[in-house]
Amino acid sequence: MSTLKAARTCATIALLAGQQLNVAVALPYPADTVTTASVSHAEMRDWVADGEHGIWIQTRNLKWFYLRLMGSCHGLSSTNSLAFETGASGYIHRYSSVVLPGRGRCVVQTLAPSAGPPQKRYADLVMQPQTQ
């Protein structure tokens, strides 16, 4: 009896292993925008960190893109320098990485066109005189 049960189990596993699995993923942007958005590293003009979860990138023609990172990128909000791993293409896209000198590498989740950073993102900031 146990041999028959083992044979059925093996047959079921073999049948399932041969089946094609389809997975659907919900994206926060239209699929065609996410897959085609890229920024030439040479065209990059400016960048602004969005805390530790993303970066707004401005190109020479003053268009903005938002680069969302997978998880937190510790130190992003407090650095003034970073590098991009773009591979041979020289383009920043969803398969690129952000490198913080001395801190590590952060993987890009998405890159999409954006309106840019909020105009009043520092509205609640109270400037304090520096003491020494």
Q: Which domain covers residue 80, as residue numbers?
A: 28-114
In a domain, 5, yes or no: no
Return d(Cα 98, Cα 108) in angstroms, integer.
7
Q: What is the pLDDT of residue 122?
A: 62
Q: What is the pLDDT of residue 121?
A: 66
What is the pTM assigned to this prediction?
0.65
Strands ordered across the beta sheet of 97-100? 44-50, 54-59, 64-69, 104-114, 97-100, 83-85
Q: What is the pLDDT of residue 127?
A: 72
Q: What is the pLDDT of residue 33?
A: 44
In a domain, 126, yes or no: no
> Domain total for the chain?
1
Q: What is the pLDDT of residue 131?
A: 77
For residues 52 and 77, the answer to whether their CB atoms sit within 8 Å is yes
For residues 75 and 32, the answer to whether their CB atoms sit within 8 Å is no
Q: What is the pLDDT of residue 49?
A: 93
In a domain, 122, yes or no: no
List of the chain residues with pLDDT < 70: 1, 4-36, 121-125
- Burial level of 38, CB count in 10 A (0-12/13-18/19+)? middle
- Model pLDDT for residues 66-90, shown as the tens digit of each residue: 999 999 999 998 898 999 999 898 9
